[in-house]
Structure 1
Amino acid sequence: MSTTLTTLAAACTAQTTLATPLGKLLLARTERGLAGAWFEGQKHHPAPFTAVRRPDDALLGRAADQLLAYFAGERDDFDLPLDLLGTDFQRAVWQQLLAIPSAGTTSYGAIAKALGSPSAVRAVGGAVGRNPLSVIVPCHRVVGTDGSMTGYAGGVDRKRALLALERATALAQTRAQAHA
C-alpha cells in the first residue's frame, strides 16, 4: 500500500460498502469528510483497513444516497464534505477534476496547463489515477487529447458507462426543461 493509502487508511473512522450498477463501492470517511470511494478491483484500492463498518453513519449514508441517485440519473453532482488526502500536487489535480462539468470531459494536458505546468502531463495522469473518490471526484471525465478513452483506475468499461450515464442524464434534464 502506498504512503498516501496508508495515511488514508489510518485516518478513516468508518467505512461501508454500496452496491451500484457498476459494482461494489467501498466508501470511507474521516472525521473531516468523505475520503474514499473505490470500486471493487480498482487499481490503488486500499487493502482492507481497520475502520469500523458503519452503514448507519450519517455521512456515509448521504454519500450512498447521492451515489444511488446519480446512478439512477436523478442527479449529476454531489454535495458532500470531502477530505482529500494526498500530496499538494494530487489535491491540486483533484480540485481541477471537481471543476469539470457533468457530461463534460477534459484532457490530462489541459489539466497540466491549468496548473501552470504544461509538461507535467504524466504526473497529472498519475494523480488522476490515484484519485481516492471515484465518481464523486470525476476522474472518469479525463480523456486523451484526441478524445480517446485512456486508462481509468476503475476500468475503461466503467469509464465509458459513467460518461454515457452522464450524457443520458444531461439529455433527460434538457428535455425536461424544454417541456417545463
Structure 2
Amino acid sequence: MGLQKPGFKFRERLNLKTTNEYNYLGQSECLVINGVNDAQKFQKLTEAMDIVQICKEEQEQAFAMLAVVLWLGNISFQVIDKENLLEASADEALTSAARLMGFAPDELMQAVSTHRIRVGRDNICKKLTLQQAIDARNALAKFIYASLFDWLVEQINKSLEGGKKHIGRRIALSSFV
C-alpha cells in the first residue's frame, strides 16, 4: 500500500475536487496565491479549531458543510418543458451535496427547482424558472455558509468564556456586517 497524503480519506469522503472545478471558487479567477501554502494554512486552521475546543467530529461536520456549499454551486438545471420550467440535473454535484446533507438526491432536486405554496389545506408544488432556481440554489448555499459562520463565532465565544461568567472577551457578530 502506497503512502497517502494527510487528509486524503477526508477529501475522498467529501468527494472533493480541485479548486478550479467549483463554480463558486472560479468566479474570482484567483485560485492560487503565490507564497501561500494551502496545506499549511489548513493545518493551522485545524490547530486553531482544536485550541477553541471544537472537537474533530464537529470540525469534520463544518468542513462537510463547506463542501456542500461548493457542490451546491455546481448544481445545474435542465429545462423540462416549453414554458422554461426546469429541474435540477441529477449529476455528481446534486448527489454529492444531497449525500453530505443527509438527503436523497430527489429531495434536494425538488428543494432547488420547485416552490411550495400552501393554498388552504393543500400544498401546491410549482416548478421554478431558470433564474428562480439559480436564486434558490444560491440562497440555500448562502444560508448554509452564514449559519456555519454564526456557529463558528458561537464556538469561539464559548471558548473565550472558558467556563467562567462573562469576562468581557467576545466576538461580536455586528462587527462583521
TM-score by length of 1: 0.23
TM-score by length of 2: 0.23
State the structure with more CA Rg: 2
Please identify which structure carries the higher strand content.
1
